[in-house]
A and B are shown apart, each in its own frame.
Chain A
């Protein structure tokens, strides 16, 4: 756009276009603005919710502000082992994400770039599992983990999280790696680089954008996961954040305000990290423009 020729060429066209654009632009911004409100409002709603009393929540109307902010909800939420759950969640999630990325990128590389007979077959095997819901395997997994003696350890949830995230990760990564020009590797081979070097210093850095996508997908699939965690983990000190939310739902009473407070506390770190890294994430993705 900054080339002066283009500017000169378009000067007149631009003048007429600007007028038309101002109307279109207004509509566009209106649409985008409405979307912004509808997508961000839940957070605000949650904040208000977390400061209401149980009775206000269940009887009060949608937009009402809390009569007097119930900060007590936050203290009951913190009473419930919040920090331990948070640490466990961060630990489980980060180990899962790192493992998924390392293992799947290795595998995706082999599938998309190596010349071997079973590449296609392996891909199909992964595709089969891509859409299977985790709940369908709950009972067999319980028996497997019992025999592995890893019930009630973090490993018993990290393993299925990793395994269930791998198919989609391999699907995305191998799709991307297929598009990397062959010349890059060929010249590296000529320079005498081994396959490990090629992978770690050429392929991985190029693959940052799809890796970012995989990170996000993996994260949203496991951060709020509860059914597997609740089934395989029994020790209080190993439990993750979704336990916190569900611990406020007991047999004949539900502490809605405290659930709200806990949800705020559970979502807060994620939102902060997400917005801090949002620029980096999208930039990282944009950096993949090598492809064109």
Chain B
């Protein structure tokens, strides 16, 4: 597949600068973290080597851990489910709007805003009606008072409220990426399809989608990364509470490493995260390799 035969020195010149920085700053710390996962260490004083004790406790005796894994995965599922919606928006923009760039850019705005803004905004939306919470006030106004909730503090709905904020914030992000993908599909492809009798969404299913599979993959990967790293938003809005009801892997890791000062234990969570990332990367690659083969 690769065509160019080049000298070893050329390869080194192209690859090494990148690789050295990456290994020194990302890879080595990850390895160090994995080692710290085997320590009983508060992060400050003396540490003792405890082997796999942290992992054993994490996997079998931590009542917060598995629910937080489940929420992280749910987060990922919701984020990925959003991508087809973003694709739909992108298709509508492309098809019905003469100058779509302005709208695409506007949809992207929430992504640029600091998480502090987004968090504050949604907290005021989710507040109880008596505190000026917009959502509950609207529900009251349309006679759906019984639907009203303490959106961020009722453990049964709090996490869904957070998912929704993430979906709202990143809709424009995925729309932009999909829009780019669609714009790259040449017009004559559609023209040819129309002559063959394929139009509208039928054409999209058969033409647009196969052509933008690679772009779709980028979106999926980004959505997954985003949900694994969802941290700031949760910290700003609920801090993982009430009573761990909105903890995800990254917030649990942070709380253990720094707030509870069990750095060794926190590192074992980090190690778990690395394994999860690896599994996810290979799954995504496997699925898309199949998809790409089928369509090409």
Contact = CB atoms under 8 A, between A and B. Distances in A.
- Please determine if A and B sit in direct contact within the complex, based on CB atoms under 8 angstroms apart: yes
Nearest to A126: B22
A98 interface: no
B186 to A, nearest CB: 5
Interface string B172-212: 11001101100111110101000000000000000000010
Given A164-B26, A267-B112, A113 B2 contact: yes
B62 to A, nearest CB: 18
B172 A39 contact: yes
Given A163-B26, A274-B105, A289-B186, A263 B114 contact: yes
Contacts of A103: 17-18, 21
Contacts of B187: 1
Interface string A117-143: 001001001111111111111011100
A60 B211 CA distance: 50
Contacts of A170: 18
A267 B14 contact: no
Given A171-B221, A245-B116, A136 B30 contact: yes
Given A274-B105, A291-B184, A128 B19 contact: no
B142 interface: no
A40 B14 contact: no
B210 to A, nearest CB: 12
* Most chain A beta carbons < 10 A, residue from B109, B221, B281: B109
If over half of A's interface residues share one DSSP class (helix, strand or loop), that class is named, otherwise mixed; here it is: helix
B115 interface: yes
A36 B184 contact: no
Contacts of A28: 92, 96
Contacts, number: 264
Interface residues of B, number: 98
Interface stretch (B45-53, B117-125, B143-151, B155-163): B117-125
B59 interface: no
A175 B221 CA distance: 13
A279 interface: yes
A130 to B, nearest CB: 7
Given A32-B93, A128-B281, A271-B109, 18 more contacts: A42-B118, A42-B121, A45-B121, A62-B137, A106-B14, A106-B15, A116-B6, A122-B19, A125-B22, A128-B274, A136-B29, A136-B270, A136-B273, A144-B24, A166-B22, A185-B3, A185-B4, A271-B112
Interface of A: 1, 6, 25, 28-29, 31-32, 35-36, 38-40, 42-43, 45-46, 49, 59-63, 103-104, 106-107, 109-116, 119, 122, 125-137, 139-141, 144, 159-160, 162-164, 166-168, 170-172, 175, 178-179, 182, 185-186, 195, 209, 213, 216-217, 220, 223-224, 242, 245, 259, 263, 266-267, 270-271, 274-275, 278-279, 282, 285-286, 288-289, 291-292
Leading 9 A-B pairs by shortest Cβ distance: A163-B25, A140-B29, A137-B29, A131-B277, A107-B18, A110-B14, A278-B105, A61-B132, A140-B32
19 contacts: A32-B93, A39-B107, A106-B13, A106-B14, A106-B18, A114-B2, A114-B4, A125-B19, A136-B29, A144-B29, A162-B21, A168-B225, A171-B221, A179-B214, A185-B3, A274-B105, A278-B104, A285-B183, A292-B184
